Amino acid sequence: MKGLENKKIFVTGAASGIGRATAQRLWNEGSNLVLIDIPTEEETELKAMFPERMTYIQADVTATDGLAKIQAEIDKGVDVFINNAGITRDATVHKMTDEQWDQVIAVNLTAVFKLSRMCAIKMKEQKSGVILNAASVVAHYGNFGQANYTSTKAGVIAMTKTMAKELGKDGIRVNAVAPGFIGTPMVRKMPEKVIAMMEDKTPIKRLGEPEDIAAAYAFLASEDASFITGTCMNVDGGVVLG
């Protein structure tokens, strides 16, 4: 894709699933990666996967010291920042604890805001940049047991639109990607029966692959998407059609 070579691209939650597949795709496109996740670099497979053009930052995106480490790297320059890290803590509303609510809001929404704010400040100075955020199709239609998660993903879509309006004049594009059911560790840990139901509800009749989402991030990050901002791209095998 156009314009990804030598670009400095950050990916949060890069040690697993969609984040790791996105890092792989962007590495193949010739980008310079800054990968962020909770484990130490040795605990991940990232160094073996990306022996060059990769910096790893061990950071929790909800922690003050983690954010400070990321800020220091953003201050040196940032072409694209992908807010991919996300968690679930499922429970039906009458059983959901404050902790389950707060943890999901902290990772999926507050961290996205704080990291996007850091990027916005630097990118305004640079007069260029792309911010991409992880939404989900469940933001559009709700999901049993996920009052916390669906709220964050709907919030991310609204935040994306607002930031796109505010930052467009500075040459900054902001978009979201809403995956459907993707076969990552987050989904594969669900019961067989639930996975079969997800496949059946998807018109294309399979779970998505992390690489399907990586392709959308790569496109939105690239110059091929230079007139696209404020959108939420569903990559879902048609599941959102209901």
Ligand X SMILES: NC(=O)c1ccc[n+]([C@@H]2O[C@H](COP(=O)([O-])OP(=O)(O)OC[C@H]3O[C@@H](n4cnc5c(N)ncnc54)[C@H](O)[C@@H]3O)[C@@H](O)[C@H]2O)c1
Buried b (16+ CB within 10 A) or exposed e, 168-178: eeeebbbbbbb
Q: Which residues 28-47 are close enough to bind ligand X by CB under 6 A?
A: 37-38
What is the distance between the alpha carbons of residues 109 and 93, in angstroms, rounded to a whole number? 19
Interaction pattern, residues 82-101, with ligand X; x per rule: CB under 6 A = --xxxx--------------
Residue written as tokens 């990291």? 115
Among 105, 186, 228, 240, binds ligand X (CB under 6 A): 186
Tell whether residue 179 is a contact of ligand X (CB under 6 A): yes
What is the distance between the alpha carbons of residues 198 and 88, in angstroms, rounded to a whole number? 17
Among 31, 116, 136, 175, binds ligand X (CB under 6 A): 136
Pick from 30, 130, 11: which is nearest to 80 by CA?
130
Nearer to ligand X among residue 57 and residue 228 (C-beta): 57
Task: Give the chain's count of helices (H) and strands (E).
Answer: 10, 7
**Min separation Cβ 16 and ligand X, Å:** 3
Nearer to ligand X among residue 4 and residue 138 (C-beta): 138
Instruction: Find the DSSP H helices in 175-242.
Output: 185-188, 192-201, 210-221
What is the distance between the alpha carbons of residues 24 and 11, in angstroms, rounded to a whole number? 11
Tell whether residue 175 is a contact of ligand X (CB under 6 A): no
Catalytic pick among 56, 141, 149, 217: 149
Q: Is 56 one of the annotated active-site residues of the chain? A: no
Tokens coding 117: 């704010």
Nearer to ligand X among residue 157 and residue 182 (C-beta): 182
Instruction: Report the interface residues with ligand X, using CB under 6 A.
Output: 12-13, 15-19, 37-38, 60-62, 84-87, 107, 134, 136, 179, 181-182, 184-187
Q: Which residues are known catalytic residues?
A: 149
